[in-house]
């Protein structure tokens, strides 16, 4: 009965609203108590939600690259969930499902929101923070929100008493409608006048406190460390009362960045970023121990979707796909004395189950509106004979999927990526080739052998569940919220792509005049879309290493680099599709290198006597947005597996031509 009052207060000016809220929280609640959890046993709750971390990125799931000692220790002290699913294979849909216990499609939320989106999570929906705030918990969000970057969808309108973080993905841009703090910190030469005039660049995002931008562009190399420090301050401030901390890290989403302590730690930037996230987990758990809160705090660690850069192995596919590599996540839950240590749950559970489970544990009221999750405390507590509450877990993201026990069903044929819907074939068989997919995830965790033809009864049952789920979901949708933009706000449209050459004042680049250590506008380089080209470099230097040339970033581009005596030419055609051609340099210290991209191959030649070829169309599908860099990579790496250091040899010449 107190929800409308609290929600109204949260939409007031922040300082006044929070003061009044603190008084309202002393009013007794009708909390729907569970006799099994007494008031003194209500746990503090910390949810650590990583961005784009794959199943195979952590030691407790077999990672051999990055070291994750703190997560591995957390797994020894808690319970691993080996079959834990999120509600979407990308950002916003996954966060919606976690925060509301409800499929994102039911709430008419987009799978991914952008700074130019005009919708967000409706404030009438009950989030975990809403529910726990009503139950007397202090609440805070630290990190990536991505459920709406303007009122009434910011965290402070969704049950969080305070917020510190980046409001969406770190590869996006600032919306001129966001309110600027009076003491905003401006970086990288940006002026207040430019910002008010609509300055925005891709990969340059704002840092917010509550409802104001306090830094632009945020220094992403410090963000994991600053999130961790902010989270620890909140724990210390609220150690004597129940609290809910939601820590959705920005990393390890592209563009990757790490603090000085983790730079060049492993040889791969993605591994450096994973290790810094692991460090953060260790700092949080260490603070709980020091504060005497260890046995009073439930900590849940998981990821929003599969790996974009890292590893989802041994699962099939990665981020964006509804194969398991896109939606089955590394997950640990830890509550000393309540969750049995060193245990593994192999029952199907999901992020939509977190909210109803916390309602039980924290003696809070479930939302009156229907949700899709179930209480999984019997699984978490290791109750004898406990089984998944999901007879079928249906996910309608992309082309869709159903998990039921050991079975994983796809109502579409093989040959797709699992990212986009193809509603064509619906017959269960077309000759000997099934038009649907069925995998035994216990016997075949990598989903390599389609057994649909061998189990027609299972296919029929899961197809019926799929159709019933879609019918019910379509009939019971609820609205998203309209973002409120000031009337005089400038457009939030996506920043223009320099490669479109809309700026006719930029002169064509004279490659003969390029200098090491400098950058050149991408718009000065000839249009590369589906164009064959050749890059010729003359280099020298004993044991030279580093980036020779880079043009592009996390969406598309090419780079050439030397590392450990190996020369690599990498072409990022789009997103996570990167083609690499490599050669050992041998004992020579002077090299003439010719790298070419054609409709049939990517070729690499050194000193006219060694050649390596990748067979296939290597041409770029779009022009790089990031500038051309000589002897270093100025922003985000084209190839995350390449070195981050500047080239320490000598570049005698670079020639480039469209063939």
Q: What is the CATH number of the domain that holds 117?
A: 3.40.720.10
Are residues 422 and 306 part of one domain? no
- Among residues 458, 475, 492, which one ends one of the domains? 475
Tokens for 331? Answer: 């997950």
Task: Specify the pLDDT at position 431.
Answer: 52
Are residues 468 and 441 part of one domain? yes
Q: Tens digit of pLDDT for each residue in 258-277? A: 999 999 999 999 999 999 99
Tokens for 70? Answer: 């703190």
Are residues 374 and 245 part of one domain? yes
- Among residues 361, 385, 409, which one ends one of the domains? 385
Answer whether residue 368 is part of any domain.
yes
Q: What Cα–Cα distance (Å) separates residue 91 from each residue in 146, 169, 219, 319, 399?
A: 7, 8, 21, 10, 17
Are residues 254 and 154 part of one domain? yes
Q: How many residues does the chain have?
A: 659
217 upstream amide cis, omega within 30 of 0: yes
Answer whether residue 588 is part of any domain.
yes
**C-alpha to C-alpha distance for 397 and 399, rounded to whole angstroms:** 6
Task: Specify the pLDDT at position 566.
Answer: 87
List 91, 153, 345, 394, catalytic entry? 91
Answer whether residue 12 is part of any domain.
no
Q: Would residue 249 show up in a list of annotated catalytic residues for this protein?
A: no
Answer whether residue 275 is part of any domain.
yes
Closest-CA residue to 98 (of 141, 161, 64, 43): 141
Are residues 146 and 194 part of one domain? yes
Are residues 272 and 177 part of one domain? yes
Q: Please provide residue 119's backbone torsions phi and psi, each rounded to the nearest 5 degrees.
A: -125, 165
**C-alpha to C-alpha distance for 55 and 58, rounded to whole angstroms:** 7
β-pair type (343-345, 79-81): parallel
Q: Would residue 394 show up in a list of annotated catalytic residues for this protein?
A: no
Answer whether residue 500 is part of any domain.
no
Is residue 46 within 8 Å of residue 311, measured between CB atoms? no
Are residues 176 and 52 part of one domain? yes
Q: Which residues of the chain have pLDDT under 50?
A: 1-36, 38-39, 423-430, 497-505
Are residues 255 and 123 part of one domain? yes
Answer whether residue 104 is part of any domain.
yes
Are residues 338 and 250 part of one domain? yes
Answer whether residue 111 is part of any domain.
yes
Answer whether residue 595 is part of any domain.
yes
Closest-CA residue to 37 (of 388, 375, 371, 372): 375
- CA dihedral (617, 622, 627, 629) in degrees, to 10, reads 0
CATH number for position 407: 3.30.1120.10
Task: Specify the pLDDT at position 40.
Answer: 55
Report the DSSP beta bridge partners of residue 407.
Answer: 404, 440
List 70, 146, 253, 397, catalytic entry? 146
Tokens for 616? Answer: 């296939």
Task: Specify the pLDDT at position 186.
Answer: 97
Are residues 223 and 341 part of one domain? yes
Are residues 434 and 294 part of one domain? no
**C-alpha to C-alpha distance for 309 and 380, rounded to whole angstroms:** 30
Question: Which residue range forms the structural domain that includes residue 621?
Answer: 511-658
CATH number for position 570: 2.60.120.200
- Among residues 418, 448, 475, which one ends one of the domains? 475
Number of domains in the chain: 3
How would you class 105 by CB atoms within 10 Å of its CB: exposed for 0-12, middle for 13-18, buried for 19 or more?
buried
Are residues 381 and 413 part of one domain? no
């Amino acid at each position: 009965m107190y929800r409308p009052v609290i929600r109204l207060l949260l939409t007031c000016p922040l300082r006044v609203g929070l003061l009044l809220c603190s008084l309202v929280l002393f009013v007794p609640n009708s909390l729907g108590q569970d006799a099994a959890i007494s008031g003194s046993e209500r746990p503090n709750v910390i949810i650590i939600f990583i961005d784009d971390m794959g199943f195979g990125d952590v030691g407790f799931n077999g990672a051999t690259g990055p070291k994750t000692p703190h997560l591995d220790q957390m797994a020894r002290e808690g319970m691993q969930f080996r079959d834990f699913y999120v509600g979407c294979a990308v950002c916003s849909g996954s966060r919606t499902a976690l925060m509301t216990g409800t499929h994102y499609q039911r709430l008419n939320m987009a799978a991914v929101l952008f700074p130019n989106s005009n919708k967000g999570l409706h404030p009438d929906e009950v989030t975990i923070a809403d529910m726990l705030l009503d139950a007397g918990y202090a609440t805070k969000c630290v990190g990536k929100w991505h459920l709406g970057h303007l009122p009434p969808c910011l965290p402070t309108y969704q049950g969080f008493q305070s917020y510190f973080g980046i409001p969406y993905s770190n590869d996006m841009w600032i919306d001129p409608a966001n309110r600027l703090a009076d003491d905003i910190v401006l970086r990288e030469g940006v002026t207040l006048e430019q910002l008010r005039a609509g300055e925005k660049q891709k990969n340059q995002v704002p840092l917010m406190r509550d409802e104001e931008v306090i830094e632009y562009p945020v220094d992403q190399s410090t963000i994991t460390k600053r999130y961790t420090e902010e989270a620890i301050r909140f724990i210390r401030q609220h150690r004597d009362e129940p609290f809910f901390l939601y820590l959705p890290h920005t990393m390890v989403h592209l563009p990757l960045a790490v603090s000085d302590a983790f730079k060049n730690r492993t040889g791969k930037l993605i591994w450096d970023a994973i290790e810094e996230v692991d460090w953060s987990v260790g700092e949080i758990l260490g603070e709980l121990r020091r504060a005497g809160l260890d046995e009073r705090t439930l900590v849940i660690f998981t990821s929003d979707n599969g790996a974009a850069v890292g590893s989802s192995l041994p699962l099939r596919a990665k981020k964006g796909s509804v194969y398991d590599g896109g939606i089955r996540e590394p997950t640990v839950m830890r509550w000393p004395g309540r969750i049995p240590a060193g245990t593994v749950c192999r029952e199907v559970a999901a992020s939509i189950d977190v909210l109803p489970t916390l309602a039980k544990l924290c003696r809070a009221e479930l939302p009156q509106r229907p949700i899709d999750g179930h209480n999984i405390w019997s699984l978490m507590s290791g109750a004898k004979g406990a089984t998944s509450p999901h007879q079928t877990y249906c996910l309608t993201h992309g082309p869709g999927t159903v998990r039921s026990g050991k079975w994983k069903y796809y109502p579409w044929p093989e040959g797709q990526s699992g990212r986009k819907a193809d509603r064509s074939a619906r017959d269960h068989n077309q000759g000997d080739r099934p038009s649907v997919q069925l995998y035994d995830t216990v016997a075949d965790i990598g989903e390599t052998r389609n057994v649909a033809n061998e189990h027609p009864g299972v296919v029929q049952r899961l197809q019926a569940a799929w159709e019933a789920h879609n019918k019910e979901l379509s009939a019971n949708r609820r609205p998203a919220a309209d973002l409120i933009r000031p009337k005089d706000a400038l457009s939030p449209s996506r920043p223009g792509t320099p490669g479109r050459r809309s700026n006719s004042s930029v002169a064509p680049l004279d490659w003969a005049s390029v200098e090491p250590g400098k950058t050149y506008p991408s718009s000065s380089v000839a249009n590369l879309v589906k164009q064959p080209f050749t890059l010729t470099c003359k280099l020298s230097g004993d044991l030279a290493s580093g980036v020779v040339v880079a043009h592009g970033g996390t969406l598309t581009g090419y780079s050439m680099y030397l590392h450990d005596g190996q020369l690599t030419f990498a072409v990022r055609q789009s997103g996570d599709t990167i083609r690499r051609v490599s050669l050992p340099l041998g004992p020579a210290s002077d090299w003439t290198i010719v790298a070419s991209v054609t409709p049939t191959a990517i070729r690499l030649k050194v000193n006219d006597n060694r050649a390596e070829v990748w067979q296939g169309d290597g041409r770029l599908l779009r022009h790089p947005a990031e500038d051309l860099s000589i002897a270093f990579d100025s922003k985000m790496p084209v190839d995350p597996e390449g070195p981050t250091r500047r080239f320490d040899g000598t570049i005698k010449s670079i020639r480039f031509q469209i063939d």
